[in-house]
A and B are shown apart, each in its own frame.
Chain A
Amino acid sequence: MKHRILHTLLLCLPAFASHAEPKVAEKVLGNGLKVLVKEDHRSPVVVSQVWYKVGSSYEPNGITGISHMLEHMMFKGTDKHPAGEFSRIIAENGGDENAFTGRDYTAYFQTMAASKLAVSFELEADRMRHLHLLADELKKELEVVTEERRMRTEDNPQAKMSEQFSAMAFTSSPYKNPIIGWPVDIANYQVEDLQAWYQRWYAPNNATLVVVGDVETLKVFALAEQYFGGLQPSELKALKPQTESPQLGVRKMTVKVPAKLPSVVLGYKVPSLKTAGQEWEAYALEVLAGVLDGGSSARLSKELVRGKQLAVSAGAGYNFSSRLSDLFELEATPAEGKTVWELELELKKQITRLQQELIKKDELQRIKAQVLASAVYERDSNFYQAMQLGTLETIGLGWQKADEYVGKINQVTAEQVRDVARKYLLDDHLNIAYLEPQPINPATAQKKAVK
């Protein structure tokens, strides 16, 4: 649901000149649908993804989670195909399919033998404009989504903490709401709400079609024109900005849930690539995340988990490709006999050090080597490549950013990493949550033989 996909990327550097990166081709249809194609002929398969510019960060209060609910309803039939038939047809054609909703996007995908791409296009084009939203189907699917929420959030201490944490950290930003929605909102969706949401956002001029695999670009463009070209565009109303109000001091909370291990999470308000005043700041924050948590040789593993043995696990993460400003997060679970307070102190010391000392040359080199290698590894997956293009396009940065990534990371200096630490990782913009475990009644097992 919340993907950190843009950690690393692609670019052909001289060492790999013989494995030149395939180019992305772009075409915008007359109705505004943007089509992106990347050929990869290693295997006779294709992934096709339709990305809509809508997600939980587009939602007003009262209907939080409606983008995700609509994602579920998109499998419930159209004029041509009754409920369930979409999935049945894809399956019969040897395909895999699913969909996912994030804060900034809703996306649908099929992976199939490359010769079956038309099957996917026909069905996706059909449900882009001709969805049937029926009260009976909604009633059942509401139960499914409620079960999904129970499974993902209600019965998962870490997820519960994370949800509470975002709700505290953000004031006016819609990132305060969970992607799946608040329970009371889920329970009260009406068919009209979903209809309005569908009408407002599901249109060719609010979507991007991404195709990666064993295809010929021009033929994909022709096929897209054939199936999607006749769809009517919508007049899109501008989205309200809902930028976050400045935070005026540290915020702390305790989350008490049945659990066995305590943990702590720290989140500083930082810009993303989209919102950074100067682009380099986002790349420097990306490197900073790598210094702390770019593998087993990074500082948190080396110093907190192994060196001082304060934590059994520790991590840091930066959402480089968020549409709105976001949190730079650090989280850790204390080792036996250590406390969340000790960890909080230690994590803050790590930040202070980044503000005072330049990172070492070999740390910077290591991150650059990892980014370069990942750029090759990621090309092993069509799906991942499509995800990168879809995400960048959908948050409004443009897919071309994917090609710039390795080069921009390579330009980051130790001074820039120190500078973003000084500028953004400030106590007054810090949010902290402690997970305080509550007793789980000792598990009582009852066993009986049947029959």
Chain B
Amino acid sequence: MRVLFFSIIILMVSQTASAAAKIEHWQTPQGSRVYYVRTEGLPMVDVQVLFDAGSARDGEKFGLSALTAGLLDTGADGWDADTIADRFESVGANFGAGSSIDNASVSLRTLTDKPLFDKALATMQVILAKPRFAAADFEREKNRTLAGLKQEEESPGDLAKIAFYQALYGNHPYAHPDSGTLKTVAALTRDDVQQFYQQYYVAANAVIVIVGDLSKAQAEQTAESLVKNLPIGTKPPALPDVALPTKGTEQHIEFPSTQTHVLVGLPGTYRKDPDYFSLYVGNHILGGGGLVSKLFDEVREKRGLAYSASSAFVPLLRPGPFLVSLQTRNDQTPEALKVLHKTLADFIAQGPSETELKAAKQNITGGFAMRFDNNKKLSTYVGMIGFYELPLDYLDTFQANIDKVTIASITDALKRRVPLPLLQTVTVGKRAK
């Protein structure tokens, strides 16, 4: 039956998937790196400015990066929060600022119709260069952050994630939650925020991403105007290396939930890792392939133990987590853990079959165009390529890199990178009595 599908070519579609996207790259006079893709068809643009100023730069002040980003649009130059919100929303623009482990991002989605675009861009420019960090705004946003942190304590999933990162990263800056802890956020001051902003929100530390219906000349002007009022500054020093934990641990947090949340893993892979594609394809087969994967099959399809069961490598500047996760009824936890461990161990020992590898490659390369089939997704990809300084032809060579992966390269990479005796396990839920 299936042969039939391939022989019927009903839709004569121009297959241009190989030419992914033409990324143009340059530096502003202030030294900010710019990445630009022209897309046509819709009169809109996505603009992002990324700084190497994520929670990994918090130092001891956990939550500082997130609070700094969150305060940006609460006042700048002569404008208060209400005025800033009015300026964006009156032209239908969407503005956002936030932080993750590796970076802080300030983003804008706007129409390209000139008066609308100009107003939105001018507002973003002032926010970047002259944030107020007023005392009243600082106190309010800090209190809102504290409320959010309290709310995390209601969630067994959030508690598990926090404990898991701590278990994996110990004293490394990746260990703490990006929004901080109740204790560290309560201790933050306005001065902390000012200093963090002054040190990291500088032109030399900025990556500008522009994807949308703007000409090259407009993109150049846009990029320059966004950073021209920032001091040039310097890039921060490289983050420390991640050391693997010295021994495996199992940690249980008692919580009055009906399910136990299970996380198992280790520090995994980083963006420029030579093993990246082998680990990516291997994980796709193990637990990354959505409704089709070994973990999904063993945990959910065969045994009905969980609604979701998956695994992922999260590549960062330094090795981000490799994590296997599921949630199951409290009393089934030992059984689910057993299935999880066996599935993982068998896969690392034996690797995928030829059929599995072929199916995974077909899924990844066949769905390649869907990775950046709209402005939003493309903008995210270009931001990643820019921030992590991946090759500009990363998307063009992606399929070839996937094709190169073999069973041997997968098992070799997994054996080296996922030493089973060192796995960190976190469970949060109610222990069966």
Cβ contacts under 8 Å, B248 to chain A: 449-451
| B366 near A116: Cβ-Cβ < 8 Å | yes
Cβ contacts under 8 Å, A369 to chain B: 89-92
| B90 near A381: Cβ-Cβ < 8 Å | no
A276 interface hit (Cβ, 8 Å)? no
| A333 near B147: Cβ-Cβ < 8 Å | yes
- Report the Cα distance A379→B222, complex, angstroms: 24
Q: How many residues of A contact B (CB 8 A)?
A: 100
Binds B, one of A84-92, A192-200, A279-287: A84-92
Cβ contacts under 8 Å, A83 to chain B: 301
Contact among B82, B301, B327, B376 with A151 in the assembled complex (CB-CB below 8 Å) = B327
- Tell me how far the C-beta of A124 lies from the nearest C-beta in chain B, rounded to whole angstroms: 13
Binds B, one of A24-32, A40-48, A202-210: A40-48
Given A95-B366, A222-B10, A380-B375, A155–B81 Cβ distance below 8 Å? Answer: no
B306 interface hit (Cβ, 8 Å)? yes
Cβ contacts under 8 Å, A142 to chain B: 304
Cβ contacts under 8 Å, B147 to chain A: 261, 312-313, 333, 335-336
Contact among B140, B153, B300 with A443 in the assembled complex (CB-CB below 8 Å) = B153
Cβ contacts under 8 Å, A451 to chain B: 247-248, 421
- Tell me how far the C-beta of B282 lies from the nearest C-beta in chain A, rounded to whole angstroms: 16
A118 interface hit (Cβ, 8 Å)? yes
A-contact bits for B104-140, CB 8 A (1 contact / 0 none): 0000011101001000000000000000000000001
Give the total number of A-B pairs whose CB atoms are below 8 A apart.
Answer: 282
| B8 near A118: Cβ-Cβ < 8 Å | yes
| A45 near B373: Cβ-Cβ < 8 Å | yes
Name the interface residues of A201-254: CB closer than 8 Å to any CB of B: 214-216, 219-220, 222-223
Give the residue among A118, A222, A296, A380 with the most B Cβ atoms within 10 A: A380
- Report the Cα distance A441→B429, complex, angstroms: 12
- Report the Cα distance A143→B306, complex, angstroms: 8
B73 interface hit (Cβ, 8 Å)? yes
Binds B, one of A57-65, A370-378, A408-416, A422-430: A370-378
| A296 near B376: Cβ-Cβ < 8 Å | no
| A118 near B159: Cβ-Cβ < 8 Å | no
Given A92-B363, A96-B370, A144–B13 Cβ distance below 8 Å? Answer: no
A319 interface hit (Cβ, 8 Å)? no
**Which residues of A are interface residues toward B (Cβ below 8 A)?**
15-16, 18-19, 42-45, 75, 80, 83-84, 87-89, 91-98, 111-119, 122, 139-148, 150-151, 154-157, 214-216, 219-220, 222-223, 258-261, 294-297, 301-302, 305-306, 309, 312-313, 333, 335-336, 362, 365-366, 369-374, 376-377, 379-382, 440-441, 443-451
12 A-B pairs with CB atoms under 8 Å apart are A94-B363, A119-B5, A150-B329, A154-B257, A155-B155, A155-B156, A156-B155, A258-B154, A366-B86, A366-B89, A373-B92, A445-B252
Closest 3 CB pairs of A and B: A94-B366, A373-B92, A143-B304
